[in-house]
């Protein structure tokens, strides 16, 4: 069976700052680094990410955000610790009903404002017209805010 890997190419205005961010996000160094280009070849999640220097980036184009789904809340907590130890600003959401699924997640933004979420799905399908209650935390249905 063939192995597939998603390719994402991002325009960046400051290659070195972007490389530093993505090293923290993925926990590895780029496999290729040129004056106007860097490539990360990540096995888990399977992604070929390239950073291409650009003079200008269209703010808020068609891209909403990017994300990595992990298999546990512990994976989200590990990402939070990694991001905070690198001095990145994080936004945490616990037991949030997002995109009709109950999730824990953490958000970070790269130097050019691309938003990334690291998330775990705790309940795969929630009713859009209802509020999900877990323990003492209540989350209203909203998608990836």
Digit-coded pLDDT (tens) for 25-68: 999 999 999 999 999 999 999 999 999 998 877 776 778 899 99
pLDDT at 136 over 80: no
Q: Nearest CA to 122 among 133, 108, 111, 136? A: 133
| Number of structural domains in the chain | 1
Domain carrying residue 23: 1-54
The answer to whether position 14 is within a domain reads yes
The answer to whether position 13 is within a domain reads yes
Q: How many residues does the chain have?
A: 145
Strands (E), the chain: 6-12, 32-34, 37-42, 47-53, 66-69, 91-98, 101-109, 115-123, 132-134, 137-139
Query: Residue 6 is part of a domain; what is its CATH number?
Result: 3.10.180.10
The answer to whether position 65 is within a domain reads no
The answer to whether position 123 is within a domain reads no
What's the mean pLDDT when you consider all of the chain? 87
**DSSP-based three-state secondary structure for 94:** strand
The answer to whether position 43 is within a domain reads yes
75 phi and psi angles, rounded to 5 deg: -65, -35
């Amino acid at each position: 069976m063939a192995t597939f890997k998603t390719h994402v190419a991002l325009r960046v205005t400051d290659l070195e700052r972007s490389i530093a961010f993505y090293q923290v996000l993925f926990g590895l160094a780029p496999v290729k680094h040129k004056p106007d280009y860097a490539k990360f070849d990540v096995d888990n999640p399977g992604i070929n990410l390239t950073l291409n220097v650009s003079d200008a980036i269209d703010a808020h184009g068609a891209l909403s955000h990017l994300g990595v789904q992990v298999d546990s809340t512990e994976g989200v907590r590990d990402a939070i610790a990694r991001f905070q130890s690198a001095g990145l600003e994080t936004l945490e959401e616990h037991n949030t009903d997002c995109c009709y699924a109950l999730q824990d997640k953490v958000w970070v933004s790269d130097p050019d404002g691309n938003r990334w979420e690291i998330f775990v799905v705790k309940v795969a399908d929630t009713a859009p017209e209802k509020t999900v209650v877990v323990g003492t935390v209540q989350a209203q249905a909203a998608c990836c805010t």
